[in-house]
Amino acid sequence: MFTNFFPMPINKNLVLLFLCFFVFITYSSAQELKNKVDLAADKIESKVIEWRRDLHQNPELSNREFETANKIAAHLRSLDMEVKTNIAFTGVTGVLKGGKPGPVIALRADMDALPVVERVDLPFASKVKSTYLGEEVGVMHACGHDAHVAMLMGAAEVLSNMREELAGTVVFIFQPAEEGAPPGEEGGAELMVKEGVLKNPQVDVIFGLHIISSLEAGKIRYKPGGTMAAADRLVIKVKGKQTHGSRPWQGVDPIIVSAQIMQGLQLIISRQTELTKEAAVISIGKISGGVRNNIIPEEVEMIGTIRTLDKEMQKMIHEKIHLTATKIAESHGAVAEVDIQIGYPVTFNSIPLTQTMIPTLFQTAGEENVQLTPARTGAEDFSFYANEVPGFFFFLGGMPRGQDPFTAAPHHTPDFFIDESGFKLGVRSLCHLTIDYMQLHATSGN
């Protein structure tokens, strides 16, 4: 029996004092590392901006990010990391092992650009053209993925220069096809997860950010729980009866039927969906049908997106889309075929992880610059990572200070613009989150 394990009675005040001293030493160690990060971020800022401008001038579409991947891999190798390439076609990872045991933390950036013709007057504006869905298109980083890559490259360099002081491992994930793989292909975070990007080493948590064109540079927004919407792809084919444009009564016009279906889809949202519960959106982004002005065609195809933040609402909206499209078509003697392809799930921020890490962002950006935000109807395939391990995804300001947010060009548009002065905060945030999580979990990692 261990009735007298301690040679003298335990002094609770001494134990408390020891624990306070331990916490102070841990905090001081983390703060010292974060001070080093801040100095390094100052020095590397110009390189981050240079990388971003190069990527912006040379954008590549989803699953075609070959040169982007080569540049990233070369940079990670120069930092003496374990580098893997060709994950999910063009994905790249770098593994940085710290000098001390601790958790495995993943940091993620997306690499792909969009089929958009740039209209912003910049010396490094994109002039690139490519082929998308069989058509020649301009290519532009119209969502800020070039900035995400550059900031994560910066964070990789900063953290690699203090690897011996890090208590854990960092996995840098550079992901293709966040905007969605081309039809008939797999891609993006879902395929990265399938191919084991969160294994070997086994990732404990993942952090990611997205720059926002309507939020001032120097500010951060976040939301615990559901923060970005599920995104499903919608294809509706309306089949009518072809006829001469001068004699519509001899056929069934799928163009006019399609127009009525589009109105019906919007009535699902505005009149049949409980929008006070969660937001929802149906948008048609492409319509194709017909060959010339005086022929009513036989078929029209509509392609769109469905955004939801609640699983029950998602199910209801899918059912209403089928009902609305088929019945409107039937009433005109046409046939509507509805295909809904389940896409990205809701991006869900782990509530315990978010609560734990928000003080880090308060300290990094200043508490007055960190804002709680409502959920967004934009979607992010970061959700696939966060379905596997606890994740925290936040938003970084990219709008020039003092600009009216309502005048900022939206993402996915030709006038999309990002203020580069916010990049340093992105680098610091990723590094600070990594260091603080390591300090909090240094003894629980591998």
Do 296 and 255 contact (CB within 8 A), yes or no? yes
Q: Does 49 share its domain with 184?
A: yes
Q: How far is CA 203 from CA 35, 77, 175, 193, in A?
A: 26, 21, 16, 11
Q: Does 260 share its domain with 312?
A: yes
What's the pLDDT at 20?
53
246 found inside a domain: yes
419 found inside a domain: yes
Q: Does 215 share its domain with 285?
A: no
Determine the Cα–Cα distance for residues 321 and 336; give it in Å rounded to an integer: 11
* Candidates 60, 65, 110, 112; catalytic one: 112
Determine the Cα–Cα distance for residues 91 and 63; give it in Å rounded to an integer: 9
* Candidates 178, 190, 299, 419; catalytic one: 178
Q: Does 219 share its domain with 236?
A: no
260 found inside a domain: yes
Neighbours of 381 (CB within 10 A): 27
155 found inside a domain: yes
Collect all residues with Cβ–Cβ distance below 8 Å to 93 and sequence separation of at least 6: 83, 84, 87, 171, 172, 173, 174, 197
What's the pLDDT at 29?
83
Quote the number of domains for the chain: 2
DSSP secondary structure, 96-113, as one string: EE-SEEEEEEEEEEE---
Is cis: bond before 201, omega within 30 of 0? Answer: yes
Q: Does 321 share its domain with 386?
A: no
Q: Does 264 share its domain with 218?
A: no
What's the pLDDT at 442?
80
Q: Please give the chain's pLDDT, 446 residues, in tens.
A: 434 433 445 555 554 544 454 444 555 788 999 999 999 999 999 999 999 999 999 999 999 999 999 999 999 999 999 999 999 999 999 999 999 999 999 999 999 999 999 999 999 999 999 999 899 999 999 999 999 999 999 999 999 999 999 999 999 999 999 999 998 999 999 999 999 999 999 999 999 999 999 999 999 999 999 999 999 999 999 999 999 999 999 999 999 999 999 999 999 999 999 999 999 999 999 999 999 999 999 999 999 999 999 889 999 999 999 999 999 999 999 999 999 999 999 999 999 999 999 999 999 999 999 999 999 999 999 999 999 999 999 999 999 999 999 999 999 999 999 999 999 999 999 999 999 999 999 864 44
Do 295 and 245 contact (CB within 8 A), yes or no? yes
Distance from chain centroid for Cα 35? 28
334 found inside a domain: yes
Beta 370-372 vs 135-138: how paired, if at all? Answer: unpaired
Q: Does 159 share its domain with 182?
A: yes
Q: Does 78 share its domain with 199?
A: yes
Q: Does 302 share its domain with 393?
A: no
Determine the Cα–Cα distance for residues 422 and 282; give it in Å rounded to an integer: 32
What's the pLDDT at 320?
98
327 found inside a domain: yes
Q: State the residue range of the domain holding 296.
A: 230-344
12 found inside a domain: no
What's the pLDDT at 446?
41
232 is catalytic: no
Q: Does 58 share its domain with 162?
A: yes
Structure tokens at 208: 């990611």
CATH, residue 408: 3.40.630.10
HSE-up of residue 245 (Cα within 13 Å, Cβ side): 8
Token pair 């200043």 in the structure block, residue: 366
What's the pLDDT at 83?
98
393 found inside a domain: yes
What's the pLDDT at 398?
98
178 is catalytic: yes
Q: Does 168 share its domain with 187?
A: yes
Q: Does 61 share its domain with 203?
A: yes
Do 314 and 308 contact (CB within 8 A), yes or no? yes
What's the pLDDT at 183?
86
